[in-house]
Chain A
Amino acid sequence: MFLTRVLPVKDSEGHVTRWLGTNTDISERKQAEERLAKLATELAQQAEDLAHSRGDLEAQTAMLKLILDSMGEGLIAADREGNFLLWNDAANQIMGRGAADIPTEEWTPHYQVFLPDGITPCPIHSLPLVRALQGESVQVQLIVQSPETAPGRFVEITARPLNDARGSLCGGVAVLHDITERKRSEAELARHAEELAHSRQALETQTLMLESVLDSMAEGLVAADADGKFLIWNRAAQSIVGYGPADLRIQEWSAHYGQYLADGITPLPAEQNPLARAIRGEACAAEIFLRNPEVAGGIWIEASASPLRDTDGVVRGGVVAFRDITQRRADEREIRKLNDELEIRVVERTAQLEAANKELEAFSYSVSHDLRAPLRAMDGFSQAVLEDFGPQLPDEGHRQLQTIRKGAQRMGVLIDDLLRFSQLGRQPLHKKTVEIATLVRAVLADFSTQQEERQIKICLGDLPSCQCDPALLRQLWVNLISNARKYTSKREQAVVEIGCIQQNGENVYFVRDNGAGFDMRYADKLFGVFQRLHLVDEYEGTGVGLAIVHQVTKRHGGRVWAEAEVDRGATFYFTLGGDTRQ
């Protein structure tokens, strides 16, 4: 085949001047054309295929993006120059910011990346993606702390270099994993662990302390849970009971530990065991006798038990505290015995005393009755002799008979005084408030009726009232005042001063005279029965008056004393004991 081609040749005006034709064999060309056409068809086909596959690729890319964006991990890829190729949603989230078109040097300040200490900004060369672009594979933890990520995010980053098909480095990829929550949990966990360790240590210390406290107690302490399983059994419990805790049923306790009722014979019924009762919710106390092979002779214990309740008040067990009271019981028995003996002795003594008192009464009755009869006879018959035979008797006989009479009469007075004195100690005190001033005036009035030739000047001071037996006090004043009168009998101007002074908060009554006085050397004899400091010839008296004064003050819980000087008078002071003041 030929191909003829004619080409016009044109001049400068554009006129065809000639034609130029060629004749070409085109068989070969034809073949080539055919080949070309075929090629074009194939090309078209390929283009179509390509277009097709491009659509596929786009779909794939979209899919890939979807996948990347749906990932929890952040994914960032960059080319060798540090241009970000990939930055998925999670990366946005984690880094707080999107991919920025900035040089690698600005990554750290831009994204505010810090080392795990949270303070040191991460050096550029340490950034994982930078290192990946250097061909390193790394896994590091960093903190991203920008305003968008406040209060900071802990990120674990795994970065790897990317190599192309030929194996040469073409970029890097980083996978970001937000471990903030994990870190927080870890920290929390660590804190908990530390706290736990702390409280565990505290608990151990406490337990140790509790144990040593329990073991140092002299009281036995046993605690059991609601099933009767022993929780505490301290050292004292061990030594008192003789046994340690045994794995027993509650019903077996009494028999195992050898417990008896307070009579020491009857085995303690299981349900009466204090701890058993405590576990039943009952607080109780009991004395129990323990006798088992481990406690020689047996011992007495005093136990008090109470239930252990939880915060809701539910009984979770019981605790019993007990102590060895064997010695105390023995002591008590001894004391009881002594008391009983003492009581018997007191009863005996009281009986003896009562008998003695009775005897004394009988004695004084007899004295009062029988001793005076002979005196009456002496006095009476002397008088009878004087009356009947007076004229026949010489004067001396009269005088002697009068002496007999005087002796008998004086003995009568002695007997009366002695009886009065002995009665004083026996009769009971009847205390009441007594106006001493009134009492003294009454006594003085009685004396004034007695005829007296001489002058007695009485100076009456302030006399406060007091609690006392009025009859005894009257006797006391009578004795003191008559004493003063008696011993001033040789004074032309007798002065008797009666009053009261305060001494150490106590009322001290006194009677002062300007009479004969006495030598203080014999003051101790003043208040004894029948003790006299003067001759009967000088001053009559039996020596009982001051003994009675002494007895009266003593019975009131008070005392009496005197100050005197020979021929310069005497002062008698007395008190009436504690409760005399008003």
Chain B
Amino acid sequence: MSEANAVEVLLVEDNPDDLELALRSLRKAKLANHIHVARDGAEALDFIFCEGPHSARKITDTPRVILLDLKLPKVDGLEVLRRVKGDPRTKIIPVVVLTSSKEQSDIVESYGLGVNSYIVKPVNFERFADAVANLGLYWLLLNQPPKVAK
């Protein structure tokens, strides 16, 4: 698989407004190439573990970063995080929780499960856009992922 076609960002977000704003921000930061969107936890797991509609995908084609909302239909974000970080094949994928929740328990549990970053979505759009753009920049451009045998 060519690097060009590789999914760079898996964006897991159920709220269409937040999704649109996030995509807009990523786009503005010129980070919108190869974004895959999952609208709930189950869809995200299917994509990551190449199941269901994504059975053709290879699990080794890991996204470079997963932006994960916590409050999701079907399977919630914490469960997705648990599965990703609990599987040796996927645990190296950086996961950034991007959520409205400021609940201490969510933050503690996320870090306990091995989240790489925890961002609270601000109401203020500019700050939201900045956060998304910075995230993308950091994880896509600056962060050097460990080499994985493919």
Contact = CB atoms under 8 A, between A and B. Distances in A.
Interface of A: 361, 364-365, 368-370, 372-377, 379-384, 405, 408-409, 411-412, 416, 419, 423
B99 interface: yes
B124 interface: yes
Query: Chain A's interface: helix, strand, loop or mixed, by majority?
Result: helix
Given A409-B124, A412-B123, A419-B102, A381 B71 contact: no
A375 B122 CA distance: 10
A375 B99 CA distance: 14
A365 B103 contact: yes
Contacts of B123: 372, 375-376, 379, 408-409, 411-412
Nearest to A412: B123
Contacts of A383: 125-126
Contacts of B17: 373-374, 376-377, 380-381
A409 B59 CA distance: 42
A581 to B, nearest CB: 31
Contacts of A423: 104
Contacts of A379: 123-125
A370 B69 CA distance: 12
Interface in B97-150: 99-104, 121-126, 128-129
A55 B117 CA distance: 161
A376 B102 contact: no
A379 B125 CA distance: 6
A423 B102 CA distance: 11
B33 interface: no
Contacts of A370: 71, 100
Contacts of B103: 361, 364-365, 368
A368 B102 contact: yes
Given A370-B100, A383-B126, 6 more contacts: A373-B18, A374-B17, A376-B128, A377-B18, A380-B24, A384-B21
B25 to A, nearest CB: 9
B18 A384 contact: no
A416 B70 CA distance: 18
A369 B123 CA distance: 11
A533 to B, nearest CB: 27
B15 interface: yes
B99 A369 contact: yes
A373 B125 contact: no
A368 B71 CA distance: 11
Contacts of A411: 123
Nearest to A416: B102
B142 to A, nearest CB: 26
Contacts of A364: 103
Contacts of B99: 369
Nearest to A408: B123
Which bucket holds chain B's interface residue count? 20 to 34
Interface of B: 15, 17-18, 21, 24, 70-71, 99-104, 121-126, 128-129
A409 B70 CA distance: 22
Contact of B21 (A365, A377, A405, A408): A377
A369 B21 contact: no
A367 to B, nearest CB: 10
Contacts of B126: 383
Contact of B125 (A368, A372, A380, A419): A380
A241 to B, nearest CB: 67
Contacts of B129: 380
A217 B126 CA distance: 90
A376 B21 contact: yes
Nearest to B102: A368
Given A380-B125, A412-B124, A373 B101 contact: no
A377 B99 CA distance: 14
A276 B141 CA distance: 97
A334 B70 CA distance: 53
A370 B123 CA distance: 11
6 contacts: A368-B103, A373-B100, A374-B17, A376-B100, A380-B17, A412-B123
Nearest to A371: B100
Contacts of B128: 376, 380
Nearest to B121: A376
Nearest to A411: B123
A374 to B, nearest CB: 8
B100 A369 contact: yes
Contacts of A361: 103
B71 A376 contact: no
Contacts of B125: 376, 379-380, 382-384, 405
A384 B24 contact: yes
B27 to A, nearest CB: 12
A381 B17 CA distance: 9
A384 B121 CA distance: 17
A377 to B, nearest CB: 4
B122 A365 contact: no
B24 A368 contact: no
A361 B21 CA distance: 28
Contacts of A365: 101, 103
Contacts of A374: 17
Contacts of A382: 125
A368 B124 contact: no
Nearest to B17: A377
Contacts of B102: 368, 416, 419
B105 to A, nearest CB: 8
A364 B102 CA distance: 10
A374 B21 CA distance: 12
A92 to B, nearest CB: 127
Going nearest first, the 3 A-B pairs with the smallest beta carbon separation are A412-B123, A377-B17, A380-B125
Contact of B100 (A368, A380, A381): A368
B144 to A, nearest CB: 32
A78 B125 CA distance: 160
B21 A368 contact: no
A373 B122 contact: no
B82 to A, nearest CB: 19
Contact of B15 (A368, A373, A408): A373
Nearest to B28: A387
A561 B71 CA distance: 41
B101 A376 contact: no
Max chain B Cβ within 10 angstroms of own Cβ: one of A370, A380, A381 = A380
A398 to B, nearest CB: 15
A412 B122 contact: yes
